[in-house]
Structure 1
Amino acid sequence: MKKGSWVKAALTSAAVCLGAFGIGQLNNEQTVDAASTDNGQVQKFDKYKGHQVYEYTVENKNGLKVSVLSQGGTLHGIYVPKGPKDKRNIIMSFKHTKQYYDKNGKSLYVGQQVGPVGNRIKDGKFKIDDKKYSVPTNEKGNTLHGGPNGYNSVRWKGETGTYKGNPAITLRHTFKSKYTGFPGNVKATTRYVVTDDDKVQVLMNAKTDKDTIFDPTIHAYFNLGQEKTINNQVLTLNAPQRLDLNKEKIPTGKFINNIGKYDFSKEKPLKKHLDPMKKTKEGGFDTMFSVEPDKNGQIAKLSDPKTDRAVTFHSKRNGLVVFSGQSFNKKIPFESGKGHKYGAIALEPQMLPDTANHPSFGDVSLKAGQSKTKTITYQIDY
């Protein structure tokens, strides 16, 4: 697409967004500059269920590029600036939108925004100030990743531009309570920002007209290397404990100290952790770690010694879900090739799962008239 075409598309998208939200309802924090830039573009990706899906792309001065799809607000690519023969996209993606939602991809939530609350809510029920709420369920009577009508289910309106001087993609959507089943009509804004020191920041903001809960995350799967599995990559976590879970993967409220295969405090190949997990029923990690951000907000680091690539994860929240891709198989046609068991690892910063039913875990409430932003930062090194 020519520069003039994508700028026109961005401006048109911005106008649509302003019309949907009302100019008087936007504050300086929510306003985005959709003027002509040299580092962003909007392109038609494909169609899904008869609707056009757009791909938004921005790039920093070093050539680090981020791609996001309007459908599901999906993080489609983080491309490191190395030679064309390298596998440059360090996250998993699909060639076609429908593959994110078909029978093979649907349960994986590849790259998608999940919300308004990530992970599981027991029985789809919770309380806010002693008032009981029941929301739609979609997994064994529980609510997973926002339920059947969550963040990943909608077409977001987006644009490219800048945010605080950095290249940015801004997505907006108003979630009506009658659609989501959650209390409150929520105006959501998500920004993907790329800084010149190679940080990818995801800023997820929401404002509601009724008390509700809010704790979204990004379900991105990482493989930093050129190999088909993550076995030789290294993961470290600032996580002395993990949550005890019942058979439906709902927290019991108890914590377990991380020792042995669950101890990620020292650098060693993921294979050393995964080999013992192969003997378990799960066959890998689908684990809710209790993390303690350091003074810089770091909770985790994934690195690949062979390519010298690394991603450091920063979050102020106390949870990190780690899923090691044990359900991947050759029937899953990723853009990089057929799926392989342990072909990538999902690292999802959030509050501890089911916090709405465990006040001791923290606070995921969003009060009427209140605006909150949940931030995830990926520091990319290459």
Structure 2
Amino acid sequence: MAGGAVLAMSGALAVAAQAAEATQTPAGILSDGTPVTAVTLKAGNGVSATILSFGATLEKFMAPDRDGKLADITLGYDNLSGYEAHPNYWGATIGRYANRIAGGRFTLDDKTYQLPKNDRENSLHGGGQGFDVRNWKVESIKSGPVAQAVFSLESADGDAGYPGAVNARVTYSLDENGSLRIAFDATTSEPTIINMTNHAIFNMAGEGAPQGAMENVLTVPASHYTPVNEALIPTGELRGVERTAFDFRKGKSLNQGLRDGTDQQIVYGRGIDHNFALDKGVTKEPELAARLEDPASGRVLEVLTTEPGLQVYSGNFLDGTFVGKHGHLYRMGDGIALEPQKFPDSPNQSSFVSARVDPGKPYRHVMIYRVSVDR
């Protein structure tokens, strides 16, 4: 009996040790006096994710290398004031519409809507008034085999020019193995467009690594991408990646082709800032969209999604203007964003998967950041 009790207790302790934990702490106060909360989800293997209520932002993502050494693999700021004073989408929840909308304009049911322009003549990531600069409500947190934090936001009819009153929710879930699942859900009071994603910028060598992120090896299972015009708006074409800098099907380091001035697409983007049409298309459950690995440390990130597209942004506009974590000046190539989503400018391009959302037909996008170690 005693031996059985000891065995049962040790088994219970092992389960408890593997369980993922969720904790909540104050993160500071915005300039208007609004308090911001930080929620940390921590797995038994040391992987942890810290999310700020401001922007429902993935502020920190810690992952071990092959020797067990932890490093933050996302770019960002050391404190809340940086995120408020210099919003750069780093780690933020993007909405209502991720990526670019040409002219900041779209038509729905014969009515045209004008959005704020914050990217030359286009609207980008909500036009500078998006979900990334709102303080979300922390609905709930819980520990267990899966640690979870739920954030919610109400966006009024006409908010930033978009129709419909939208109730949005983002659920971050971290399991015992260190897979971070992000579920985006939204309902609307009238027809609108919604396209939500996370805008973390990664370096698997660790944030601020002196060599930058361009030695990271990227794999994207996409045979086609959407070429853009000089304003970075898709032309509507699906172009094959074969024999171009955009062919990541077999995996290659990011620095291959990024300075190829003979490719007009690279010139337009100052590197890669393009949407890849994933071979899998829209799926019911998240499937692989990208794999990013640092050969030196062994850290691996897999990005899975239910959406049809992946925006790959190679940090082309990082110019050392802002001081990031640990006093680092982020420069071109110091990180890469892998943003699952609908295709850019979908509301104006009928051949792309529609971003329309109607009352009674909720929006949902599920993505996963799965970290591991290649030994």
- TM-score, normalised by the number of residues in structure 1: 0.83
Deviation at 1:87, TM superposition (A): 5.5
Assess if the C-alpha contact under 8 Å between 1:40 and 1:160 holds in 2: no
Assess if the C-alpha contact under 8 Å between 2:20 and 2:143 holds in 1: no
In structure 1, distance between residues paired with 2:127 and 2:231? 15
Deviation at 1:156, TM superposition (A): 0.3
Assess if the C-alpha contact under 8 Å between 1:174 and 1:187 holds in 2: yes
Give yes or no for the alignment of 1:285 onto 2:276.
no
Distance 1:373 1:165, change over 3 A: farther
Deviation at 1:76, TM superposition (A): 0.5
Aligned to 2:248: 264
Quick one: which of 308, 311, 334 aligns to 2:324?
A: 334
In structure 1, distance between residues paired with 2:216 and 2:66? 21
Give yes or no for the alignment of 1:352 onto 2:343.
yes
Distance 1:292 1:64, change over 3 A: same
Quick one: which of 341, 349, 362 aligns to 2:353?
A: 362
Secondary structure in 2 aligned to 1:312?
strand
Quick one: which of 28, 35, 38 aligns to 1:46?
A: 28
Q: CA RMSD in A?
A: 2.5
In structure 2, distance between residues paired with 1:86 and 1:62? 11
In structure 1, distance between residues paired with 2:195 and 2:51? 20
Quick one: which of 198, 208, 218 aligns to 2:198?
A: 218
Deviation at 1:291, TM superposition (A): 1.5
Distance 1:190 1:281, change over 3 A: closer
Structural mapping, 1:114-193, within 5 Å:
114-162=94-142, 166-193=146-173
Deviation at 1:188, TM superposition (A): 0.7
Aligned to 2:258: 274
Aligned to 1:230: 213
Deviations 1:170-204 (A, max 9, x none): 10111112433211111111011111232111101
Deviation at 1:120, TM superposition (A): 1.0
Deviation at 1:61, TM superposition (A): 2.6
Aligned to 1:241: 224
Assess if the C-alpha contact under 8 Å between 1:210 and 1:369 holds in 2: no
Secondary structure in 2 aligned to 1:98?
helix
Aligned to 1:8: none
Deviation at 1:159, TM superposition (A): 4.7
Q: Counterpart of 2:350 in structure 1: which amino acid?
A: P
Structural mapping, 1:92-131, within 5 Å:
92-102=75-85, 105-106=86-87, 108-131=88-111
Aligned to 1:206: 186
Q: Counterpart of 2:221 in structure 1: which amino acid?
A: N
Q: Percent identity?
A: 27
Q: Counterpart of 1:100 in structure 2: which amino acid?
A: Y
Q: Counterpart of 2:361 in structure 1: which amino acid?
A: Q
Aligned to 1:375: 366
In structure 2, distance between residues paired with 1:373 and 1:135? 23
Distance 1:59 1:272, change over 3 A: same
In structure 2, distance between residues paired with 1:203 and 1:71? 17
Distance 1:143 1:200, change over 3 A: same
In structure 2, distance between residues paired with 1:134 and 1:159? 32
Aligned to 2:307: 317
In structure 1, distance between residues paired with 2:139 and 2:23? 9
Assess if the C-alpha contact under 8 Å between 1:243 and 1:254 holds in 2: yes
Deviation at 1:164, TM superposition (A): 9.3
Gaps of 5+ in 2: 1-18
Deviation at 1:238, TM superposition (A): 1.1
Larger mean Cα displacement after TM superposition, 128-137 or 189-198:
128-137
Assess if the C-alpha contact under 8 Å between 1:57 and 1:160 holds in 2: no
Deviation at 1:231, TM superposition (A): 2.1
Larger mean Cα displacement after TM superposition, 297-306 or 192-201:
192-201
Distance 1:144 1:196, change over 3 A: same
Deviation at 1:81, TM superposition (A): 4.5
Assess if the C-alpha contact under 8 Å between 1:299 and 1:315 holds in 2: yes
Deviations 1:45-67 (A, max 9, x none): 12221322211111123222111
In structure 1, distance between residues paired with 2:75 and 2:192? 32
In structure 2, distance between residues paired with 1:360 and 1:223? 34
In structure 2, distance between residues paired with 1:82 and 1:92? 17
Give yes or no for the alignment of 1:194 onto 2:162.
no
In structure 1, distance between residues paired with 2:355 and 2:112? 15
